[in-house]
Amino acid sequence: MRYFAELSYKGSAYCGWQRQPNAPSVQQTIEEALSTILREQVEVVGAGRTDTGVHAAFYVAHFDTSKAIENPEQTVYHLNALLPEDIAFGRIYAVADDAHARFDATEREYRYYIQRRKDPFTKATTWQLTAPLDLEAMNRAAEVLLQTEDFTTFAKLGSNNTNNICHIYRAEWVEIECGMVVFIFRANRFLRNMVRAIVGTLVDVGRGKITPEEFAEIVASRDLSRSSSSAPAPGLFLTDVKYE
């Protein structure tokens, strides 16, 4: 039997989603909890890999069991009791045996949060940046992303991507409450470190270090060395995964 699981996690204490030999990962923590509750060895496949310190407000994974889970709600209750406070299951539901959390996803959404004033309560989940930002210029620059398909400029070296083509559906900075701004970025797929590299470069637009026109040139150059430093991990959240 195959099941999809919807969950969320705060990534501060983990090396990312993917299991690593010498560091705690979200995947390993969930696999151990599922194996304990279901009393069999369980392997989990996630919708994507989040990097060290990155969070997920909404995440989807799949796993297989040798027999049906009779009471998914009760299983979720026991999992949440066993898991650490920074990982939470929302629901578990049966799917087709060939359903795949990663390969069947048609859209993903990330949100990056910048807190524009010192705030001890959001330090672990935002980039606290008190420098003035020109959001209008940042949004003019972000419009370039909607007309772009090749994101080699923002593709981290050493990744095992077969190509750097992504289709972008939304790229927008929005001002929300308490002096915070959020970059909403929706696409069919994302490259490793892509969102943080784009955010870091757009912030340089907002700080007047580069113009929106220069940002467009950087994107078109397909040259990683021209992108700015990546934005810090704590501000990044995976917030949605869509399926047919």
> In three state form, how does the secondary structure of 190-236 look?
CCCCHHHHHHHHHHHHHCCCCCHHHHHHHHHHCCHHHCCCCCCHHHE
Confidence of residue 244 (pLDDT cuts 50, 70, 90): confident
Please name the amino acid found at residue 207.
Answer: R
Cβ atoms < 10 Å from Cβ of 153: 22
> Which structure tokens are listed for 240?
């949605």
The Cα–Cα gap between 30 and 139 comes to 38
CATH 3.30.70.580 domain extents, the chain:
2-95
CATH 3.30.70.660 domain extents, the chain:
106-243
Backbone phi, psi, residue 150, to 5°: -95, 115
Average pLDDT over residues 70-78: 97
The Cα–Cα gap between 148 and 139 comes to 15
Cβ atoms < 10 Å from Cβ of 9: 24
CATH for 106-243 is 3.30.70.660
According to DSSP, residue 98 is labeled T
Which of the residues are catalytic? Answer: 51
The reported pLDDT for the residue numbered 156 is 81
Average pLDDT over residues 66-89: 97
Class of domain 2-95: alpha beta
Q: What is the pTM of this model?
A: 0.95
pLDDT tens digits for 142-167?
999 999 999 999 988 666 677 999 99
Q: Say yes or no to pLDDT of 97 above 80.
A: yes
- In this structure, the strands spanning 55-64 and 236-243 are parallel
